[in-house]
Structure 1
Amino acid sequence: MRRSTRSLLVATAAAALVLPLCGVTAANADTPSFSNADKSALRNQAPVDLAIGTAAWGEQMLTDYDPAAPTEFQDVLSRQFSSVTPENDMKWDAVHPAPDVYDFASADAVVAFAKANHQKVRGHTLLWHSQNPAWVTEASGTWTCDQAKDVLEDHIRTVVGHFKGEIYEWDVANEIFKDTWDAGGVSLRTDRNPFLKACADDPVGLLADAFTWAHEADPDAVLFLNDYNAEGINEKTDAYYDLAQQLLDRGAPLGGFGAQAHLSLLYGFDASLQANLERFAALGLKVAITEADVRIPLLDGETEPTAEQVATQTERYQALLQACLNVTACSSFTVWGFSDAHSWVPDVFPGEGWATISDEDYTPKPAFDALLTSLKDATPGVSPRRG
């Protein structure tokens, strides 16, 4: 685990937050898990039609979880969030490690934890080009489209069916478009996604089938497309908008579009986010911010950001949430982990970090306070979210 000494900046910011990220109050002293009396909780300040979520790993739930004596991680998770996304536990390599083997132990732990703490669960993910087990990546080059469909249909029906009634939103198709900087530009990943590759003659047909199988397995779950670099109106989201129309025209039960919102201070903020969410909502879809974090480039040898960087990070978190609040079809806002102790960022983006809303010791950052304030302000006079 990466540890650092908190700077004067962080200590000062944390002291200024009179609403702590966790801690026992008189109202919840006898309740070890969620209490709706806790006004310092993001989940309690959110409009009733907006789930406030975070990602977590199943092993964090499995480690000696005792509702009467939760770990600090479990305590914060239960108090602050109304939705949980299994960060890895529902991906192919976790739940379907061999052709005839399904392993739901870790994913079941997430669902059990959520149930115990009055939380919803977002399913993630059913069709992706990454984190597939070896038996998929090795066999996919020889599959016909029909063979690929048989494998995918069995997986979707089995996984979605296992969690029927437990998942309110499913990321069915994840990161299925290439980027402008990839070879060939923005197009469906028929080169890397094993199922789209096998069905390259009609990849939209495969996607329509995937949504249909998921819907038949759990008619109540809202089914999403999900991707990064999908916040504003750009070439990639134009492609998603066109795909959404094609899927809807084919009668596919597409229900939502998710923008991951993995942001970095190395790049600007796309102010067309709200307009992008609105155009997908106009198709009759739910929209969501599904994996938000805002990473900060750190100087060599430094572990903490400058005051200016902290201010910019706070503004971007707030802008993400405000765009969601302003679009009534935005059904969930999820941060990708809430503590730097468990963030994926330093391992994947060398030289960047400090990306979540609390530090490694669960001390809230100014971004947390900004999110809490924005949720409190989502009243009928400011936002149509509450009535």
Structure 2
Amino acid sequence: MRIHHTSRRARSAVLATVLAAATALAVGVTVSRPGAAEAATSLKSLADAKGRDIGFALAPDRLAESAYKQIADSEFNLVVAENAMKWDATEPTRGQFTFAQGDAVADYAAAGGKKLYGHTLVWHSQLPDWASGLSGPELLQAMKAHIAGVAGHYRGKVVAWDVVNEAFADGGSGGRRDSVFQQRIGDGWIEEAFRAARAADPAADLCINDYSTDGVNAKSTAIYNLVRDFKARGVPIDCVGFQAHLIVGQVPGDLQANLQRFADLGVDVRITELDIRMPTPPTAANLATQAADYRKVVTACLAVSRCAGVTTWGITDRYSWIPQVFPGQGAALIWDDNYAPKPAYQAVAEALGGGVTAPPSTPNTSPSPTTPTPGPGTPVPGGCVVSYVPNSWNNGFTAEVRVRNDGPALTGWTVGFAFTAGQQVTNAWNTTLAQSGAQVLARNAAWNGTVPTGGTVSFGFQGTHGGSNPNPAAFTLNGATCRNG
């Protein structure tokens, strides 16, 4: 497997063969059965094992939201600033740089041992008014100074930069976008930007990034030709980013072939801004198709040895940009508005090599989940409140369980309950879960065992039922009975 390719960094061994995706459309990978091996507990651990990046776009002010931060901390090994490193955010006044928000992203990445991906040095959008009003020679000078200021500030901290973003036109022409840079500087502006970026941060990979280039088409071919020309003439370029803002059911069939043709030019490729939108409210069918689509994208990346990884443009549907730009569309990410993993989460995990553990073929000899061992800080009876929210269809269902701890702080938890109609859990998330007959026992995952007094922890699962799916009547937290909320 390989960590991060560049001509200036060492390459590790070749990526292992992609595992076949499981057919279950589930939302987690931490379910276990007594006597069976547990699956991996995060996308990060799976991607690390593959030597690939799994990233997300971060708005640093959202780290104050505990659910957001918990997922950000545990599920990703790469961070990209959503807006904090763009031109208007870093140089709102010519020559006066502001890095507070960008530094917050960089500090978060460093503190968590995550890679930092830079986005973006030059883009026609979110450009401050002062830059838009410059003449050609002045704009070229300002662009070089901006690159030197921003890339220089983060020199040695960023693994790669989107040096130029969205420089090519929409439609079938394959021509350059008629941006202020193209109008006033001319065709050489992209090359000038890449040369300035190399001077500012010689160790960082330099990428060109664009959308609607995921398949082989006129726009992607125009970028292909530019990259081929740059490589032939020694213009510094190391990678190509494919934004992959996709529509459910429309992943290009030639995505892998397209990534491979760029890789064959001697550059890395990345899926940089992945989301897959659908009409809202989402249907079960569209969520299933979305899961299959996410699996296709990740699998295509893994099949190309120079694909460095996949980054989703955000964490939760709650903060997705899609509904504001495409009214009536949304539900594009792998966690929903309430931070519950969607079927796409399981699909990504499976594509990365995670799996669903099967029931054991040998008799169950594990202790019964009806007698859990209380964890530290066991609350008194009545010191917890549980809400149970199911979503049923045909003979399947998902359920979210939220537990509020009204007792002493916990450093580990077990939640017990029993089904009454033969329901069977098939997958779970944010927990390791065991079922023996009707009895179910959910234990904390590695990252969510600490629950303060008044704090809430949530987990969920997918299962099957025989036509009737009543809620469990009672729940326990570390052996103490909880109130239903």
Distance 1:102 1:54 in 2: 25
Is 1:364 paired with 2:341? yes
Q: Is the 8 A contact 1:85 1:124 kept in 2?
A: yes
State the one-letter code of the partner of 1:130: S
Partner of 1:45: 46
Provide, for residues 133-157 of structure 1, a one-character-per-residue CA deviation record: whole Å limited to 9, x for no partner.
Answer: 11122x13xx12x322210110001
Partner of 1:186: 174
Q: Return 5+ residue gaps in structure 2 as ranges.
A: 1-24, 32-37, 356-485
Choose from 273, 276, 283 the match for 2:258: 276
Cα gap change, 1:180/1:212 in structure 2, threshold over 3 Å: closer, same or farther? Answer: same
Choose from 101, 105, 116 the match for 1:106: 101
Cα gap change, 1:18/1:51 in structure 2, threshold over 3 Å: closer, same or farther? Answer: closer
The structure where strand makes up a greater share of residues is 2
Partner of 2:120: 125
Is 1:152 paired with 2:143? yes
Distance 1:198 1:153 in 2: 14
TM-score scaled by length of structure 1: 0.80
Distance 1:18 1:210 in 2: 43
Q: What's the CA shift for 1:268?
A: 2.5
- Rg larger in structure: 2
Q: What's the CA shift for 1:18?
A: 5.0
TM-score scaled by length of structure 2: 0.64
The structure where helix makes up a greater share of residues is 1
Distance 2:327 2:57 in 1: 21
Is 1:116 paired with 2:111? yes
Partner of 1:199: 185
Aligned length: 325
Provide, for residues 235-266 of structure 1, a one-character-per-residue CA deviation record: whole Å limited to 9, x for no partner.
Answer: 1111011111122223111000111000013x
Partner of 1:164: 155
Cα gap change, 1:38/1:270 in structure 2, threshold over 3 Å: closer, same or farther? Answer: closer
Q: What's the CA shift for 1:377?
A: 5.6
Q: What's the CA shift for 1:311?
A: 1.1
Distance 1:40 1:330 in 2: 23
Instruction: Give 3-state SS (helix, strand or coil) of 1:252's partner.
Output: coil
Provide, for residues 207-235 of structure 1, a one-character-per-residue CA deviation record: whole Å limited to 9, x for no partner.
Answer: 11211111111111111111110101011
State the one-letter code of the partner of 2:185: C
Provide, for residues 141-186 of structure 1, a one-character-per-residue CA deviation record: whole Å limited to 9, x for no partner.
Answer: xx12x322210110001100100111101101111000116xxx33
Q: Is the 8 A contact 1:241 1:280 kept in 2?
A: yes
Partner of 1:86: 81
Q: What's the CA shift for 1:128?
A: 1.0
Partner of 1:295: 277
Partner of 2:197: 214
Tell me whether 326-335 or 245-254 shows the greater mean CA deviation. Answer: 245-254
Partner of 2:389: none
Is 1:56 paired with 2:33? no
Q: Is the 8 A contact 2:317 2:333 kept in 1?
A: yes
State the one-letter code of the partner of 1:187: G
Q: What's the CA shift for 1:50?
A: 0.8
Q: Return 5+ residue gaps in structure 1 as ranges.
A: 1-12, 21-36, 64-69, 379-387
**Over 3 Å off, 4+ runs:** none
Matches within 5 A, 1:182-331: 185-189=173-177, 191-192=178-179, 194-200=180-186, 203=187, 205-265=188-248, 268-298=250-280, 303=281, 305-331=282-308
Distance 2:354 2:339 in 1: 24
Q: What's the CA shift for 1:59?
A: 2.3
Distance 2:39 2:250 in 1: 35
